[in-house]
Amino acid sequence: LHNKSNHFSRRLAKHLTALCIWDIALLCCCLCSYGIICMCLGILPFVGVTAYLLYLFQPFASFCVTGTIWQVLAITIERHKAVSRPLEQRTRKGQFSLRSIFSCIVFGAFALNFLAVPFERALIDCYEFRSNGFEVRTMIVQRELVNNQYYAILSHLIPDLIFRAPTPIVIIAILTVRTLQIASAQRTVGHQQIIPQRQRALGRNVHLMLTFLSIKFIICNTLYLFNTILMEVMGYGGKTSSQQTELEMEQYISSLYLTDFSNMLLAIHSATNWLIFYKWPECKEKKVKRFATSLTLSASSRADWLRGSAPIDSTSAEQALNKFRELKNEICADILSSLCNTCSSIGNALGIDKLQTRPITPQLFLNNTELLQHTNLLGNIIGN
């Protein structure tokens, strides 16, 4: 995804680039903490080098998940403002800068996920017994504070409800629906549907892509909330092994599967976001056919609109035309000089390159006999 893409505004492209960075970081954390170790060993050990990896990358993965949630929320809010109040968004000087938004997301996600790690996890020495003796190794364990239900509610459930789910998810869903409603209403004038030329030519619908992103985000993050309530509030599978009964042991095993499944959905969400925004190649014939159809429909819609309305009355039109005829040479010379300065191929077609004159001024078209013919021709076309 490129910042200079024609499909998105520069601000939206930077938001999507930041979202890609969050996704890449999350996938790298999953690969370092689970993927490589499980592929090599078949299981996930909690001793040795793996203990240090889990101590570092598990909180960092949660940090990336929180950053992804807030990034999608920021995209949704800004998109809603851009659609509902487009002029205000373009002229507002007090608008938050992207750097401020990104900094708030990073620092907020860091505080939410890293500050509690020293109080919840610890690296301790343990003895690994082997056939020829034993070896002292490092093991990652949870502290007793994690099993405190009140601590789980205050440090995990309440922040999760506010900053992870369902509050951000509900806001994203409401604003997405509202944005689609406003965008649909703004594109309708009377009974004629006005399609922006930029989207018509490129065949890309930004609102539809962001809607897909929001829907996929909601589906893949809802289980995270359910898992949090089940384990941290209801205490499902949350006790240490020395306290567990047979039923609680089954709950503990089930909670591991539930956690792995919710983590898998988060990884799938991050791994598939690029599919929404990637510019897929299209068949040339279909592209030409679709553009021709769109052009035909647009032309017919404009013709119907022009027949059904009168932008200016006949008297005003006649006065404007008479004013143009008085100054047609000056006006047409100014038009042609601007076109030649903008596009060199037009100047070459008119023979400007032979004169080797820069810059091209309207006076050149009035003083040169050959160029004056082009000026008169354009004036006759417009005046008639």
Chain segment 273-286, per-residue pLDDT in tens: 888 877 777 655 45
Beta-carbon contacts of residue 360 (< 8 Å; ≥ 6 apart): 337, 340, 341, 347, 352
Kindly tell me if the per-residue pLDDT of 11 is higher than 90: no
Q: Determine the Cα–Cα distance for residues 294 and 283; give it in Å rounded to an integer.
A: 16
The answer, yes or no, to whether the previous bond of 59 is cis (omega within 30 of 0) is no
pLDDT value for 60: 92
Asked if 30 and 61 touch (Cβ cutoff 8 Å), the reply is yes
Q: CA-CA distances (angstroms) from residue 302 to 34, 193, 200?
A: 58, 10, 15
Burial of 65 (0-12, 13-18, 19+ CB in 10 A): buried
The better pLDDT of the pair 257, 22 is held by 22
Kindly tell me if the per-residue pLDDT of 108 is higher than 70: yes
- Which has the closest alpha carbon to 145: 238, 225, 78? 238
Written in H, E and C, the secondary structure of 112-149 is HHHCCHHHHEEEEEEEEEECCEEEEEEEEEECHHHHCH
Hey, where are the domains in the chain?
Answer: 10-88+95-277, 317-383
Kindly tell me if the per-residue pLDDT of 163 is higher than 80: yes
- Which has the closest alpha carbon to 23: 90, 86, 73, 69? 69
- Which has the closest alpha carbon to 268: 229, 217, 226? 217
Single-letter amino acid code for the residue at 381: I
- Which has the closest alpha carbon to 216: 1, 59, 23, 30? 23
Single-letter amino acid code for the residue at 243: Q
Q: Determine the Cα–Cα distance for residues 352 and 163; give it in Å rounded to an integer.
A: 63
Task: Out of 26-35, 40-49, 108-117, 228-237, pick the least confident.
Answer: 228-237
Q: Would you say domain 10-88+95-277 falls under CATH 1.20.1070.10?
A: yes
Kindly tell me if the per-residue pLDDT of 182 is higher than 80: yes
- Under DSSP, the state recorded for 309 is -
The better pLDDT of the pair 121, 341 is held by 121
Q: Give the residues across from 122 on adjacent strands.
A: 141
Q: What is the pTM of this model?
A: 0.64
Give tens-digit pLDDT for 322-367. Answer: 887 888 888 888 888 888 877 777 777 887 776 666 677 888 888 8
Give percent of the chain with pLDDT exceeding 90.
Answer: 11
Give percent of the chain with pLDDT exceeding 70.
Answer: 71
For all residues of the chain together, what is the average pLDDT? 75
pLDDT interval class at 106 (50, 70, 90): very high
| DSSP track, 20-37 | HHHHHHHHHHHIIIIIHH
